[in-house]
Chains A and B, each alone.
Chain A
C-alpha cells in the first residue's frame, strides 16, 4: 500500500464540521482511498472510500483532489461519539479482500 500522512491529532467543536486531511502523494492510478475509524476499545469501523470522485454517505463525505495526492474526510456535524482515531488508507482495488495497513491515524477529539 502507498503511504499516507495524517496529522496526529485534531480538535473539533460539537456540531461543527470536522475536516480531516490526508496526504497520499505516491498514490497510483488503481489505488483507492479508504477511511476507517476506531473508537476507544472497539475494532475499526469502515467509513467511506473513493477513487477520484467525491463521495458521500450517511456517515461522511470524502473529497479527493484532482491530482489525487490528497483527500479530506468531512464529518458535517461532529458529535461527541465521533471522538476516535481516523485512519486514511490507500490500497489497490475495489475489494475488501485485500488487506488493510493502518498507519498512525488522526486522533479527533470532539469537544462540547
Chain B
C-alpha cells in the first residue's frame, strides 16, 4: 500500500514562529502536493511539485514556501505563522501518469 506520512497530527504554534510541516511518501511518486482544508472552503492547493527541486504555486501560495530536496519528501514552510494559517494541512502524492492522489492523515495546525 502507498503510504503518505506527515510529521505531526496536531501542532500548536505562536504568531510569528517559523513552522515546518514534513511529508514523506514511500512509493517513488513524482508528484507531491500541499493542500489546506477549511470549513466551507473545501480543499485548496498551496503548492505542488512534479520533480525534485521543482515547485509550482497553487491557488493560495502566499505566506508559504516549499522544499523538495529528495523525491520522497516535500516540506511546507510557514516563514512567519499567522492566525489565519490555522487550518488542516494535507499532503498528497501521485505518479506522474497515475489517476489517483494518495493523501496523508493531515496536520491540524493552530496558530495562537
List chain B residues, Cβ under 8 A from A96. Answer: 31, 94-95, 98-101
**What's the tally of chain B residues with a CB closer than 8 Å to chain A?**
31
Q: Interface majority SS on A: helix, strand, loop or mixed?
A: loop
1/0 contact string of A18-56 vs chain B (CB within 8 Å)? 000000000000000000000001111110010000000
List chain A residues, Cβ under 8 A from B90. Answer: 43-44
| Bound form: Cα–Cα A24–B69 in Å | 39
List chain B residues, Cβ under 8 A from A44. Answer: 43, 90, 92, 101, 103
**What's the tally of chain A residues with a CB closer than 8 Å to chain B?**
19
For chains A and B in complex, what number of residue pairs have CB atoms within 8 angstroms?
68
Instruction: Let me know if B96 and A97 touch, CB within 8 A.
Output: yes
A99-B48, A100-B45, A103-B42 in contact; A43/B104 too (CB < 8 A)?
A: yes
Query: In chain A, what residue has the closest Cβ to B93?
Result: A96
Tell whether A104 is near chain B: CB-to-CB under 8 Å: yes
| Bound form: Cα–Cα A87–B100 in Å | 14
A43-B106, A44-B103, A46-B101 in contact; A101/B94 too (CB < 8 A)?
A: no
Query: In chain B, what residue has the closest Cβ to A104?
Result: B42
1/0 contact string of B25-57 vs chain A (CB within 8 Å)? 000001101010100101111001010000000
Instruction: Let me know if B33 and A99 touch, CB within 8 A.
Output: yes
Instruction: Let me know if B40 and A104 touch, CB within 8 A.
Output: yes
A42-B106, A43-B4, A43-B92 in contact; A100/B40 too (CB < 8 A)?
A: no
Residue with the greatest number of chain B CB neighbours at <10 A, chosen from A41, A44, A46, A49: A44
Instruction: Quote the shortest CB–CB distance from B7 to chain A (angstroms).
Output: 14
10 A-B contacts, Cβ less than 8 Å apart?
A: A41-B105, A43-B91, A46-B101, A95-B99, A96-B99, A96-B100, A100-B35, A101-B43, A103-B42, A104-B42
Q: What are the 8 closest A-B residue pairs judged by CB atoms, nearest first?
A: A43-B103, A46-B100, A96-B94, A102-B43, A102-B42, A99-B45, A96-B98, A44-B103
